Structure 1
Amino acid sequence: MRESEFWANLDWAFPRGRGRSLAQDLFLSELGGASPAEALREGQPPQAVWNAVCQAMDLPESYRFLHRISSDDRGRLP
């Protein structure tokens, strides 16, 4: 996953700016107590950061690789 895909996933899963807010305000033990935005700035892999967000927010397993799902098929996700 590229960092741009991380942000696109976040925007899709948490629309209307909620994802960007979450990336700043959610501190995760899986990321060493960092927020997703901090973890990315520190050089953590975007997929690892996304996985931590998915786990913390209890997103369905199908969201783990959301960046590999076409925009047409995303409409069918829970």
Structure 2
Amino acid sequence: MRISDYWRLMDDEFGAGYSRVLSSTLVLAGAGGRTADQALAAGMSPRHVWLAICDVQDVPPERRLGRDVKPLRD
């Protein structure tokens, strides 16, 4: 997972503003007791951080891959 995918998932699930707050303030046991921002800066994979956030925030399994985006019709 790329960092851009991480932010897309965060924004889709929590909204653009709140996702930034969560990432910078929520301490994650699954990320070594660091915030998501700290874990990412330390080199932890965005996928691992995203799943740690999902666990803490009780994101249901069916939404952990993001929203279904319907293809555009020609």
Same fold per TM (> 0.5)?
yes
Measured in 2, the distance between the counterparts of 1:32 and 1:15 equals 25
The one-character-per-residue Cα deviations of 1:13-41 (angstroms, maximum 9, x if unpaired) are 11140011000010011100110111111
Q: Which runs of 5+ in 1 are unaligned?
A: 74-78
Aligned amino acid, residue 12 of structure 1 = D
Structure 1 runs (4+) deviating above 6 angstroms are: none
The count of aligned residue pairs is 71
Q: SS of 1:71's equivalent?
A: coil
Which protein is richer in strand relative to its size? 2
Structure 2 stretches lacking a partner, 5+ long: none
Q: Rg larger in 1 or in 2?
A: 2
Kindly indicate whether structure 1 or structure 2 has the higher relative contact order, using CA contacts under 8 Å at least 6 residues apart: 2
Q: Percent identity?
A: 34
Measured on the aligned residues, the alpha-carbon RMSD in Å equals 1.6
Report the TM-score when normalising by structure 2. 0.86
Which residue in the other structure is 1:76 paired with?
Answer: none
Contact 2:10 2:16 (8 Å CA) reproduced? no
